[in-house]
Structure 1
Amino acid sequence: MSKVAVIGGGWAGIAAAVALADAGHDIAVFEMAPQLGGRARSVAGQPDYDNGQHILIGAYRDSLALMRRLGVDPEQVLKRLPLALPYPGEPGLRLPPGSPLVAFTRGVLAHRGWPLGARLGLLAAAGGWLARGFRCDAALSVAELCAGLPAAVKRDLVEPLCVAALNTPAPQASARVFLRVLKDALFSGPGSADLLLPRRPLSDLLAGPAAAWLGDRLRLGTRVQAVEPGWRVDGERFDAVVLACTSVETARLTADVAPAWSATAQGLGFEPIVTVYLHSPGSALPSPMLALREGPDAPAQFVFDHGALGGAPGRFAFVVSGAAPWVARGGCAEAVLAQAVRELRWASPPVIDKVLTEKRATFACTPGLVRPPAFIATGLWAAGDYVEGPYPATLEGAVRAGRVAAQGVGAEAGGTGTGAKGAASGSPTNTP
């Protein structure tokens, strides 16, 4: 049994801590905030608000398994819906149940909002991606990958899916990562593309149950100042350390012990996300989630009806992903309000309730991006949605990174029979 420090209590840190504890290691979890959850939690002191709107999908098997391990039934806390991208007044693309390939084909052919040529063009492109194993040149952007697609398909499907999954606009987003997301979501098994929308506060999904499960192994409100060879965390001796904090914090803590790794982490750029909560008593959307068409005066790409998801009736979360231009302009709340009034029907005039801006919500998922590996040094591992891997900055990416780091620690301790290099690249259990 090893004594292991997990620094950071977001979803990656929780995943690492649970896996390490289940393997019999003595763990301590350091979290600088007063609660667990990282960027996917409820707002401190206001538990009925989340620090951003999150979506899970059916392909997030590791995240769902982690919830179950902590005693959370995903069917109770998440609303499962077949993938649909309805727009105000338009049904949009909807995938029927069944085999993913058949469902995608049927859904596209049934989409009467697109001309037949557009539908056939999308199916032809998707067939080409499938034939190539959803692989492409690492230097390609999503916009370049999809340049030949009909304009309606790019506008109504590719661009909103890209910014939702990668939080990076299509002209700047990695086509390779985008294709991996499509592969796992649309073609990895029945239900993999289903939308899983939280119908409880985010902290109820993982952070709260994890805090109860960890108990006295959790050290909240503790910002680690130094990690030194040995391994010592602020002077306390450990056999191994998992750095599950942000890339910025991990770069700070590794600047002296692994300067090359630290420099790679420091080189990551970021994309913000803005969530604008509007309040309109008596109002409801026709669906729990609607897609919106982004434009020069229309910042939001999606809106969620919290009343339809078991939350506060009359509260609506408008999400602005890839929000750097709006943050640079000083914000977008009034523009979102104008967009909402213009595009949706309201029983009462909506008003701005709360605005939450995550300036470093995710790393910018750009073509050819070099991300730091999970393995830093013997006994020192990184876990976060930003570490080297095939996925963008998602909850599932964070959970998988946490598990990979835990496997690496176990391999080094001789407990798994898997080499550290193999653990760093992920095990078969990490692939849907």
Structure 2
Amino acid sequence: MMKPSPPAPSTAPLRLAILGAGWAGMAAAVRAVELGHHVTVFEAARTLGGRARGVALALPDGREVMVDNGQHILIGAYSDSLRLMRTVGVDPDTALLRRPLALQYPDGSGLALPDWPAPLDAAAGILAARGWAWRERLALLRAALGWQRAGFQCDEQLSVADLCAALPQRLRDEFIEPLCVSALNTPIAQSSAQVFLRVLHDALFSQRGGSNLLLPRVDLSALFPQSAARWISARGARVVAGQRVDALHWEAPHWHIDGQPFDRVLVATSASNAVQIAVQSAQAAAPSIANQLHAWAHGAAQLRHQAITTVYAQAAAPAPRLRAPMLALRPGVDAPAQFVFDRDAITPAAQPTRLLAFVVSDSQGERATLQAAITAQAARHLKVQVTPLLTITEKRATFACTPGLQRPASAIAPGLLASGDYIAGPYPATLEGAVRSGLQAAEALR
């Protein structure tokens, strides 16, 4: 496979086109503007945010509220995402509800960390976990200390199930599995142990508050992409919404978009759209460029994508009182959701919405079947009657973060880069992974 040679770093201002106004694209745009480049962002949709964007939901009483195309969480270790929010004028302290990490179930069992310095908070939380026997708590502490002694490194071919095989079954089912699903969106039998350890290190062992749950009080478009668009526009950049770019045309030394020449182009779309753009662009390219485009597209097309479904359901009056804003759920054959979020506890409204968001990672099955199963799951596990109002399935929400996975490189061809949560990097498919990829791509322009 031919490897493209990236252009030499430049300190002169460049004309940069960014395809996609999701979190990766807007992170790259902010950093590129900071570096003095001339930036134009093209976004096919009218709403900014990509696979993490705001969506309007109509309540039965006629009110309209903003939710998201998928319920997301951030954690305190997402340093680059939080820094960029502050840069573009978003205050994370008001835009996010910060809570110490808790993976608790409706019956109160599970783990809840105190607000202490790391890693004392993790140790105390494990020792105080409800519903676990002492031998189970000590087994998890021993395992965590072993991972720390090993520098949070392991064989790249290990799965999380392999890594945690010696732990008691209850810990694997009620702690490791939900933690892994929330971080990697992949079941433990298929998840990369090395990526899992990296997330554990950054969240639990690196800084105070790194493990904190950050629950968005505003929709995901407002949380960063929209503010980033206003920030770069005020500094001379352009954001063109509603314009899809299907192919690029190479005339050395520029890439052309609808006749406009650009020194560099950054493809910050989903992996599947990036593959389509590379293949379409190769059709009219010189053989040397076409070979590089096809080689990159072939590698990116090998990723196995997974769906995530979020079901927004309204609870019957009176408004339910969940134990916490986010609860883990015990999934099963007829219980597909792994987590439930109390939207009123996260974003209080003058008139309660009674909205609950149920999240199904690695989602499978038809919408009606999922809604019926979640309605039954809510009645059994939460003792709440719910009516589904909006179900959103992102069929390519994430990639399977499997052991030894070879993710595509950022460099595609001369002057052409890619960024996104699927690009080679230490993080799984998360908002922070997307942001870091965008920042790295912008830095590579210099």
Q: Provide the C-alpha distance between the structure 2 equivalents of 1:391 and 1:250, rounded to a whole number of angstroms.
A: 20
Any gaps of 5 or more consecutive residues in structure 2? 1-12, 58-63, 283-289
2:382 pairs, out of 334, 339, 344, with 344
1:123 is aligned to 141
2:329 is aligned to 292
Displacement of 1:224 in angstroms is 0.5
Q: Provide the C-alpha distance between the structure 2 equivalents of 1:233 and 1:400, rounded to a whole number of angstroms.
A: 26
Alignment of 1:9-408 (within 5 A): 9-43=21-55, 48-215=66-233, 217-229=238-250, 230-255=254-279, 256=282, 257=290, 258-280=293-315, 281=317, 282-311=319-348, 313-324=353-364, 326=365, 331-346=369-384, 349-408=385-444
2:287 is aligned to none
The answer to whether the Cα contact below 8 Å between 2:108 and 2:323 also exists between their aligned partners in 1 is no
Displacement of 1:207 in angstroms is 2.3
Q: Provide the C-alpha distance between the structure 1 equivalents of 2:369 and 2:232, rounded to a whole number of angstroms.
A: 38
TM-score by length of 1: 0.91
The answer to whether the Cα contact below 8 Å between 2:47 and 2:221 also exists between their aligned partners in 1 is no
- Deviation string, structure 1 residues 278-302 (Cα, Å, up to 9, x no partner): 1023222121111101111110110
Displacement of 1:91 in angstroms is 4.2
The answer to whether the Cα contact below 8 Å between 1:226 and 1:234 also exists between their aligned partners in 2 is no
Q: What number of residue pairs does the alignment pair up?
A: 406
TM-score by length of 2: 0.88
The answer to whether the Cα contact below 8 Å between 1:47 and 1:201 also exists between their aligned partners in 2 is no
Displacement of 1:112 in angstroms is 3.5
SS of structure 2 residue aligned to 1:225: coil
Displacement of 1:330 in angstroms is 6.8
Q: Provide the C-alpha distance between the structure 1 equivalents of 2:275 and 2:185, rounded to a whole number of angstroms.
A: 22
For residues 330 and 112 of structure 1, do their structure 2 counterparts lie closer, same or farther at Cα, with a shift above 3 Å needed?
A: closer
SS of structure 1 residue aligned to 2:308: strand
Q: Provide the C-alpha distance between the structure 2 equivalents of 1:112 and 1:379, rounded to a whole number of angstroms.
A: 55
Identity %: 51
Q: Provide the C-alpha distance between the structure 2 equivalents of 1:162 and 1:112, rounded to a whole number of angstroms.
A: 20
The answer to whether the Cα contact below 8 Å between 1:231 and 1:239 also exists between their aligned partners in 2 is yes
Letter in 2 for 1:373: A
SS of structure 2 residue aligned to 1:275: strand
Letter in 1 for 2:98: R
Q: Provide the C-alpha distance between the structure 2 equivalents of 1:92 and 1:183, rounded to a whole number of angstroms.
A: 20
Q: Provide the C-alpha distance between the structure 1 equivalents of 2:128 and 2:261, rounded to a whole number of angstroms.
A: 61
Displacement of 1:99 in angstroms is 2.2
The answer to whether the Cα contact below 8 Å between 1:271 and 1:359 also exists between their aligned partners in 2 is yes
The answer to whether the Cα contact below 8 Å between 2:18 and 2:268 also exists between their aligned partners in 1 is yes
Q: Provide the C-alpha distance between the structure 2 equivalents of 1:307 and 1:225, rounded to a whole number of angstroms.
A: 40
SS of structure 1 residue aligned to 2:119: helix
Q: Provide the C-alpha distance between the structure 2 equivalents of 1:253 and 1:400, rounded to a whole number of angstroms.
A: 22
Displacement of 1:96 in angstroms is 1.2
Larger mean Cα displacement after TM superposition, 176-185 or 375-384: 375-384
Larger mean Cα displacement after TM superposition, 94-103 or 359-368: 94-103
Larger mean Cα displacement after TM superposition, 103-112 or 210-219: 210-219
Q: Provide the C-alpha distance between the structure 2 equivalents of 1:131 and 1:115, rounded to a whole number of angstroms.
A: 25
Letter in 1 for 2:38: D
- Deviation string, structure 1 residues 71-90 (Cα, Å, up to 9, x no partner): 00000010000001121121
SS of structure 1 residue aligned to 2:174: helix
Root-mean-square deviation (CA, aligned residues, Å) is: 1.5
Larger mean Cα displacement after TM superposition, 302-311 or 68-77: 302-311
Q: Provide the C-alpha distance between the structure 1 equivalents of 2:275 and 2:86, rounded to a whole number of angstroms.
A: 32
Q: Provide the C-alpha distance between the structure 1 equivalents of 2:56 and 2:115, rounded to a whole number of angstroms.
A: 38
The answer to whether the Cα contact below 8 Å between 2:108 and 2:130 also exists between their aligned partners in 1 is no
Displacement of 1:382 in angstroms is 0.8
Displacement of 1:313 in angstroms is 2.9
Any gaps of 5 or more consecutive residues in structure 1? 411-432
The answer to whether the Cα contact below 8 Å between 2:110 and 2:132 also exists between their aligned partners in 1 is no
Letter in 2 for 1:210: A
SS of structure 2 residue aligned to 1:93: strand
Letter in 2 for 1:87: Y
Q: Which runs of 4+ in 1 moved over 2 A?
A: 44-47, 210-216
SS of structure 1 residue aligned to 2:445: helix
1:423 is aligned to none
